[in-house]
Chain A
């Protein structure tokens, strides 16, 4: 394999604490090394920024609900879907791009890993088919468990070992990466026409509360010692006044200790916090609660969060929070897609326009930015758009420009149609902080890598780590002052190395790399009870045979399996 030496770049690497110093980075056989031979190809990174490849911690980029969005929104891909010159295929779609476009766009922005945030276990095959077809970036998927009948029945009786054994079985069947929870209990309650809007609302029939589900799953997650923590989309998403539920949910992590061999320090990852940081009683008196929520997050060290930044675009919302999508459809009357996934979960899809002329949308935009700007520890706060829910992931460069330049974000804030009203209901106007390149590397590289249990290989530029390297046309000494220039630089990496191969050069995809699918194989002691329950549920309830449930090897031919051993737990 070829050798490279990246010379004279300004390196930002939180793993080694390098803050923009000029340092050469050597690459050999897909890894970063101390030195290379004199025949190594030289990449001149003079006046450029060098970072590790970025990691996406939460996005909906593969699987049945993403595809439902694609087929029921042909209007999303009508324009701009011409074949571009070069080796890329036709790229279609804005908020729900094709798998090919997904891979190319992440790579162009300097990303090398993406986590599909919600895999319905029954449809795991579809998720893996799409992941396999997404070029360049490594990916993994989180099976959704917060409304799963097995889980609710075991946790009702405090059976942590059975819960863990079931999770282990399920992750092996679905080639899943971790424990995802979406509106715990609420999605199941919706099958009765109800919802769980607080963490103490009992789930009908199962008679368990969201708080019990989350606490139980956190305990089981640490019992197994998985690389990632429980990853939660909280109850009462997107409603004014929900911040109290948000803080109460975060408090569930108090006293829970992380137990794993991956260097992960959190026990709960709370995703798209923007949607959960609302004060007020209705859309009229709706206000930001970013301060209240972030004050708690800042002092509670064993939780991590991501932002869910609203990008002010027309987009497609999609979530396993079925009742929420129905509620949203009632608000905007746009087309609603819904599916119930048997014993496991549900999903809904509704298009949404975040219109800057509507003050609610503008306030949501402020809250997302406030969360990132109020985060005291950038290693625990990651930037997302909950793609495509708050906006397409392709807008990250624009989100960075708002976070890194007060001038750029104030220009946007002050030109909202209802600017006074928006400023009065949010904190953003009084925040001067500008995220630095080093903090950005923490929020998009080292932080998510640590949170996902991937810090051994990802998120840094230390010798021995994966040669996943993004080089941007940004001179830190002359950081661009206008938004479009920042966007252009972050949206078109000068180079992207994936496993030591140059996949992007000058913003153009030049190599499809060799992507891998990550999943976690957790070994547990043999558990006859759980295997009996699985057999029984398949015989009595599932629409498929147990033997047709697992994802075959052929669906993930380039898999990377992380093994954990909980047999001695």
Chain B
């Protein structure tokens, strides 16, 4: 695997749209060619070379390409977005859309990410070694297709509206979340190690939410249906199984209605 190292040499005045900073776009290119790739700042297009010092050539394919980014990326959007393979490591905090629509490969952010990251993520591994903002792993504004695959880990806290419209994949949050976790969920698994504020699993149709901590205010559409012993992300514990959201339409399979589950650790 070849490594391309990007070092921020100029922090953009506005925000830099790094739609080209991912292994798929870099694949097969030399450092010089990468420097010439476009990046929008507002309506003006400039090049990656204006904002980054670029060292190392990319591999022949995305899978053979690793990108390491150093320096202040707090004003960089779309890093690793739409990537399908390879690896990206960002040693900074990042702005919006980081890892959004990613389909494969490995993305690590050693810092915080802003809102709208991992939107509609469909595959791969995305690790955030910091906090995440709102709409993490959710659907894009207006869209009804949220995170559908892959594994997303957050070491810190996340904001509100996390995992809205999630349909698949696994999301693990070590810290706490604000309101609206897993709204409109239709599949997938959320593991919350910390606490949630309010409205967890509102309008949830299918899928599973595991909460290790407390929920500030529980949704009224959930009904306790017994206790289960489970091993969740390496932790063995007893959980109370709630079914819901009973206020929502639910599909039927083999004559039986399919409900979502909210597991609260005892």
A interface, CB within 8 angstroms of B: 72-76, 78, 82-83, 90, 333-335
Contacts and interface: CB of A to CB of B under 8 A. Distances in A.
A72 B144 CA distance: 12
A72 B141 CA distance: 9
B248 to A, nearest CB: 11
Contacts of A74: 140-142
Contacts of A333: 249
Contacts of A334: 144
Tell me what chain B mostly uses at the interface: helix, strand, loop, or mixed.
loop
B45 A75 contact: no
Contacts of A75: 139-143
Contacts of B52: none
A83 B41 CA distance: 11
Interface in B129-153: 139-144
Contacts of B43: 82-83, 90
A74 B249 CA distance: 25
Nearest to B42: A83
Interface string B37-62: 00010010100000000000000000
Interface of B: 40, 43, 45, 139-144, 249
A72 B140 CA distance: 12
Nearest to A75: B143
A78 B140 contact: yes
A72 B142 contact: yes
24 contacts: A72-B142, A73-B142, A74-B140, A74-B141, A74-B142, A75-B139, A75-B140, A75-B141, A75-B142, A75-B143, A76-B142, A78-B140, A78-B141, A82-B40, A82-B43, A82-B45, A83-B40, A83-B43, A83-B45, A90-B43, A333-B249, A334-B144, A335-B142, A335-B144
Given A76-B142, A335-B144, 19 more contacts: A72-B142, A73-B142, A74-B140, A74-B141, A75-B139, A75-B140, A75-B141, A75-B142, A75-B143, A78-B140, A82-B40, A82-B43, A82-B45, A83-B40, A83-B43, A83-B45, A333-B249, A334-B144, A335-B142
Nearest to A76: B142
Contacts of A73: 142
Contacts of B40: 82-83
Contacts of B45: 82-83
B137 to A, nearest CB: 16
Nearest to B141: A74
B148 to A, nearest CB: 15
A536 to B, nearest CB: 42
Contacts of A83: 40, 43, 45
Nearest to A90: B43
A461 to B, nearest CB: 39
A335 B143 CA distance: 9
A323 B140 CA distance: 29
Contacts of B249: 333
Contacts of B139: 75
A74 B142 CA distance: 6
A84 to B, nearest CB: 10
Contacts of A72: 142
Contacts of A78: 140-141
A74 B43 CA distance: 19
7 shortest interchain CB distances as A-B pairs:
A75-B143, A83-B43, A74-B142, A75-B142, A74-B141, A75-B140, A73-B142
B236 to A, nearest CB: 38
Q: Which of B140, B141, B142, B143: most chain A CB closer than 10 A?
A: B142
Nearest to B44: A83
Contacts of A90: 43
A74 B140 CA distance: 8
Nearest to A332: B144
B214 to A, nearest CB: 33
Nearest to B43: A83
Contacts of B140: 74-75, 78
A353 B40 CA distance: 30
Nearest to B143: A75
Nearest to A335: B144
A335 B142 CA distance: 9
A73 B140 CA distance: 10
A334 B40 CA distance: 33
Contacts of B143: 75
A39 to B, nearest CB: 39
Nearest to A83: B43
Nearest to B140: A75
Contacts of B142: 72-76, 335
Nearest to B249: A333
B265 to A, nearest CB: 33
Nearest to A77: B142
Nearest to A78: B140
A416 B56 CA distance: 44
Contacts of A82: 40, 43, 45
Nearest to A89: B43
A67 to B, nearest CB: 14
A82 B140 CA distance: 18
A334 to B, nearest CB: 6
A83 B46 CA distance: 12
B115 to A, nearest CB: 15
Nearest to B100: A78
Contacts of B141: 74-75, 78
A448 to B, nearest CB: 34
Nearest to B97: A78
A334 B139 CA distance: 14
Nearest to A73: B142
B146 to A, nearest CB: 11
A333 B165 CA distance: 13
A73 B144 CA distance: 10
Nearest to A333: B249
B119 to A, nearest CB: 9
A69 to B, nearest CB: 11
A36 B142 CA distance: 55
B191 to A, nearest CB: 27
